[in-house]
Amino acid sequence: MQEKGTISIHTENIFPIIKKFLYSDHEIFLRELVSNAVDATQKIKRLASIGQYNGELGELKVEIAFDETAKTLTISDRGLGMTADEIKKYINQIAFSGAEEFVEKFKDSKDANEIIGKFGMGFYSAFMVADQVEIQTLSYQDDAESARWICDGSTEFEITPGSRTERGTQITLHINKDSEEFLNEQKLQGILDKYCKFLPVPIKFGTRNKQEPDGEEEGKPKYKSVEIDNIINNTSPIWTKAPSELKDEDYLNFYKELYPFTEDPLFWIHLNVDYPFNLTGVLYFPKLKNDFEIQRNKIKLYSRQVFITDEVKDVVPEFLMLLHGVLDSPDIPLNVSRSFLQADSHVKKINNYITKKVADKLSELFKSDRKAFEQKWTDIGIFVKYGMISEEKFYDKAKDFALLNNTKNEYYTLQEYREKVKVQQTDKDETVVYLYATDINKQDSFIQSANKKQYDVLVMNSPIDTHFVSQLEQKLDKTSLKRVDSDVADKLISKDDVVETVLNEEDITRIKAIFEKAVTKPNMNVEIESLHPDEFPVIVTMDEFMRRMKDMSQMGGGMNFYGSMPDTYKVAINGNHKLIGRILLTDNEEEQTALAKQAFDLALLSQGMLSGAELTEFVNRSVNFI
Ligand code: ADP
Ligand code: MG
């Protein structure tokens, strides 16, 4: 009894196409075949559990073995097996909606997943690496006869009675010339580690007939055949367990398993939903070191414990890409493609769910132990701020636990902070002005001046803060944020109490001319202001708006117009300072200029803006003064 037939696809050319277009992802054939074996194993277990199979289950494991000499790779399972009819139904009739459409649509595609997913041909991915594939199988059904299917990668196949005596399926790939790299232990181990590490059925990986050195014989090295076998997977990773079964240690150990040599995470969230979609997983908040760009793509996406991808961009909200961990959703097909993820409505729901969970967890941490939350804020803050900027829904939740910290190392919620500063820092238009420093060392003199006026100064020193500042300003009612060095302290928050000037019109013109001569740096505009006498004589500032636009364009905010503009500063001369009076009284022009230069350089120096030859000149001049 032998049957020959033609696989029902409409072109003879389909396999060459598969091979040609899928070159980049060849390795996924193993994922497809192993997961078929796992599926078959799960199915027999299920049949047994509902009483539809009463035989012995035996040792349910999937075995992968290769033989370098015979150039074969085999995947065997003790699953439910197939009858000859089932082979015809499930293997031969591939759901191609038309070869022409296929060729047309995917001639430029490099995404094997898209093709495999779309055309339901996981099994056929074997032909990417094999020029002959053989199935030996015995169905679990009573009185089933074993069957053998063999196909050489053309559309011709052959079904004959098989030789298998044990329930289950063995797939043998005769690896083609171009794919011999897959007959290598390290290579296979690597692929299995990537895709199969957490499969729910034990996976045994071995090499048959591996040649190992075995001493010498008549002066020549001798080899012996060895078999290597081991179970390579963890069948019940923690995300499949109930949170109540797990201790902190389990989560930490799993983290180490996923990311060896990484510092312990700050905390984690165990996800577990079954309605309206299925999702399990554990997300970890890593310790960040501000170099967060590098740490992306650390979350691994699984579908029923089969690894799919670590490019979770479309599944996880952008701002949570910095998290680590695993997500598992059977609603996401194994051979999922990019375009599928983007369009899928489950994925959108998953996205919202994760956002909500993360917000809830943070809120809970904040409420249960505020001190600890504050201590972790440097790390957590990056996620929170990023989230508040990019997701409206997250902002609404996070506004109650997001913290602002000031130069005194105190932490406030947004609401607390407003209460704290509103009396001192409301300007004459009823706007509350929040002051912030981006570099507490460089901006120290400004911070001190602000503090003298009873103003508080926030610290906004992470890269994300540039955007966060704008976001706060948009979201908070009647609030503006100013960097502490964006103007002289008296003017940062404009109030009605103007400081009277001691200079008359003529003095102002004279002193302006003196300073304009002394300030030789370009793009420095001298302005005479009437400040408190105990403020510095000269203060160099950059306008808040201008600086912010420049920061944004530097971060790639698209405002290149500002990015290309030179840095422009205001050189505020404190007309009420004693030194100004002294300069005016000096009749030696040279000395006037020297004093003005000295005062200007001191202002630059206090902001770390004096260096090189200018600094040397300043030091020399100072020595002369002494
Ligand atoms: P999918 O797994 O998405 O159904 P595949 O092309 O991977 O598509 O497999 C086609 C079908 O062949 C499977 O649905 C299953 O019925 C059958 N099959 C494949 N491998 C096995 C196996 N090892 N044991 C039993 N049936 C199998
Ligand atoms: Mg499959």
Domain residue spans of the chain:
3-211, 238-369, 402-492, 505-625
- The answer, yes or no, to whether any atom of ligand 1 lies below 6 A from the CB of 91, is yes
Among 88, 123, 157, residue to substitute to test ligand 1 (most atoms within 8 Å of Cβ): 123
Question: Above pLDDT 90, what percent of the chain?
Answer: 60
Question: Which ligand has the minimum distance to the alpha carbon of residue 126?
Answer: 1
CATH number at 402-492: 3.40.50.11260
Mean pLDDT of the chain: 87
Burial of 243 (0-12, 13-18, 19+ CB in 10 A): middle
User: What angle in degrees, to the nearest 10, is found between the helix axes of 505-518 and 589-606?
Assistant: 70
pLDDT at 460 over 90: yes
* Distance, CA of 428 to CA of 587 (rounded, Å): 41
What radius of gyration, in Å, describes the C-alpha atoms of the chain? 36
Kindly give the distance from the C-alpha atom of residue 300 to the centroid of ligand 1, in angstroms, as a whole number: 25
Q: Which residue puts its alpha carbon closest to atom 10 of ligand 1?
A: 90
pTM over 0.75? The answer is yes
pLDDT at 120 over 60: no
Long-range pairs for 393-400 at CB < 8 Å and ≥24 separation? 393/352, 393/355, 393/356, 394/317, 394/319, 394/355, 394/358, 394/359, 395/471, 395/475, 397/356, 397/359, 397/360, 397/363, 398/359, 398/362, 399/475, 400/363, 400/366
Question: Which ligand has the minimum distance to the alpha carbon of residue 40?
Answer: 1
Q: Which atom of ligand 1 is nearest to the CA of 43?
A: 25
Among 8, 29, 34, 36, residue to substitute to test ligand 1 (most atoms within 8 Å of Cβ): 36
Looking at residue 344, what is its pLDDT?
A: 73
CATH number at 3-211: 3.30.565.10
CB atoms within 10 A of CB 317: 22
CATH classification for the domain delimited by 505-625, as one of 3.20.20.10, 3.30.470.20, 3.10.20.30, 1.20.120.790: 1.20.120.790
pLDDT at 419 over 90: yes
Looking at residue 486, what is its pLDDT?
A: 93
- The answer, yes or no, to whether any atom of ligand 1 lies below 6 A from the CB of 82, is yes
Residue 289: which pLDDT band, with cuts at 50, 70 and 90?
A: low
pLDDT at 372 over 90: yes
- Coil, strand, or helix at residue 137? strand
pLDDT at 294 over 60: no
**What tens digit of pLDDT does each residue of 610-622 get?**
999 999 999 998 9
Does residue 151 or residue 9 have the better pLDDT? 151
Q: Which amino acid is at 406?
A: N
Kindly give the distance from the C-alpha atom of residue 124 to the centroid of ligand 2, in angstroms, as a whole number: 9
- Residue range 293-307: average pLDDT? 81
Kindly give the distance from the C-alpha atom of residue 31 to the centroid of ligand 2, in angstroms, as a whole number: 9
Looking at residue 96, what is its pLDDT?
A: 41
Looking at residue 423, what is its pLDDT?
A: 94
Does residue 268 or residue 214 have the better pLDDT? 268
CATH classification for the domain delimited by 238-369, as one of 3.40.50.970, 3.30.230.80, 3.30.930.10, 3.40.50.261: 3.30.230.80
Looking at residue 226, what is its pLDDT?
A: 67
Q: Which residue has the tokens 């001691």?
A: 502
Both tokens of residue 53?
């199979």
- Residue range 229-246: average pLDDT? 92
Looking at residue 156, what is its pLDDT?
A: 79
Looking at residue 340, what is its pLDDT?
A: 67
Looking at residue 58, what is its pLDDT?
A: 93
Among 45, 62, 90, residue to substitute to test ligand 1 (most atoms within 8 Å of Cβ): 90
Kindly give the distance from the C-alpha atom of residue 122 to the centroid of ligand 2, in angstroms, as a whole number: 5
Q: Which atom of ligand 1 is nearest to the CA of 37?
A: 23
Kindly give the distance from the C-alpha atom of residue 45 to the centroid of ligand 1, in angstroms, as a whole number: 16
- The answer, yes or no, to whether any atom of ligand 1 lies below 6 A from the CB of 37, is yes
CA distances from 26 to 130, 203, 297, 305, 617 (A): 11, 21, 22, 21, 67
Kindly give the distance from the C-alpha atom of residue 124 to the centroid of ligand 1, in angstroms, as a whole number: 10
Q: Which atom of ligand 1 is nearest to the CA of 334?
A: 3
Contact 601, 609 (CB under 8 A): no
Looking at residue 517, what is its pLDDT?
A: 93
Looking at residue 67, what is its pLDDT?
A: 93
- Residue range 138-158: average pLDDT? 91
Question: Which ligand has the minimum distance to the alpha carbon of residue 149?
Answer: 1
- Coil, strand, or helix at residue 159? strand
Contacts (Cβ under 8 Å, ≥6 apart) of 367 = 401
CA distances from 508 to 318, 487, 586 (A): 55, 20, 15
- Residue range 576-588: average pLDDT? 92
* Distance, CA of 253 to CA of 585 (rounded, Å): 75
Q: Which H, E and C letters describe 494-540, residue by residue?
A: CCCCCCCCCCCHHHHHHHHHHHHHHCCCCCEEEEEECCCCCCCCEEE
Residues measured by CB to lie within 5 Å of ligand 2, the ion: 36, 122
CB atoms within 10 A of CB 293: 8
- Residue range 470-484: average pLDDT? 95
**What tens digit of pLDDT does each residue of 163-206 get?**
999 999 999 999 999 999 999 999 999 999 999 999 999 999 97
- Out of 12-26, 209-223, 341-355, 445-459, the most confident range is 445-459
Burial of 556 (0-12, 13-18, 19+ CB in 10 A): exposed
Kindly give the distance from the C-alpha atom of residue 40 to the centroid of ligand 1, in angstroms, as a whole number: 8
Looking at residue 97, what is its pLDDT?
A: 38
Question: Which ligand has the minimum distance to the alpha carbon of residue 91?
Answer: 1
- Residue range 579-602: average pLDDT? 92
Q: Label the pairing between strands 147-151 and 156-161.
A: antiparallel
* Alpha helical stretches, state H, 369-427: 370-375, 377-390, 392-398, 414-421
**What tens digit of pLDDT does each residue of 51-86 get?**
999 999 999 999 999 999 999 999 999 999 999 999
Q: Which residue puts its alpha carbon closest to atom 18 of ligand 1?
A: 36
* Distance, CA of 4 to CA of 155 (rounded, Å): 11
Residue 243: which pLDDT band, with cuts at 50, 70 and 90?
A: very high
State in Å, rounded, how far the first CA of the chain is from the last one. Answer: 112
- The answer, yes or no, to whether any atom of ligand 1 lies below 6 A from the CB of 32, is yes
Kindly give the distance from the C-alpha atom of residue 331 to the centroid of ligand 2, in angstroms, as a whole number: 15
- Helix (H) or strand (E) holding 366, with range, is helix 345-368
**What tens digit of pLDDT does each residue of 8-56 get?**
554 455 665 555 555 457 898 999 999 999 999 999 999 999 999 999 9
Q: Which residue puts its alpha carbon closest to atom 9 of ligand 1?
A: 123
Looking at residue 295, what is its pLDDT?
A: 62
- The answer, yes or no, to whether any atom of ligand 1 lies below 6 A from the CB of 77, is yes
Kindly give the distance from the C-alpha atom of residue 36 to the centroid of ligand 2, in angstroms, as a whole number: 5
pLDDT at 158 over 80: yes
Contacts (Cβ under 8 Å, ≥6 apart) of 477 = none
Q: Which amino acid is at 78?
A: R
Question: Which ligand has the minimum distance to the alpha carbon of residue 333?
Answer: 1
* Distance, CA of 123 to CA of 34 (rounded, Å): 10
**What tens digit of pLDDT does each residue of 375-408 get?**
999 888 988 999 999 999 999 999 999 999 999 9
Question: Above pLDDT 70, what percent of the chain?
Answer: 86
pLDDT at 103 over 60: no
Residue 270: which pLDDT band, with cuts at 50, 70 and 90?
A: very high
* Distance, CA of 34 to CA of 63 (rounded, Å): 9
Question: Which ligand has the minimum distance to the alpha carbon of residue 35?
Answer: 2
CA distances from 93 to 120, 143, 601 (A): 10, 25, 83
Q: Which residue puts its alpha carbon closest to atom 13 of ligand 1?
A: 90
pLDDT at 364 over 70: yes
- The answer, yes or no, to whether any atom of ligand 1 lies below 6 A from the CB of 63, is no
- Residue range 333-350: average pLDDT? 72
Residue 277: which pLDDT band, with cuts at 50, 70 and 90?
A: confident
Looking at residue 496, what is its pLDDT?
A: 80
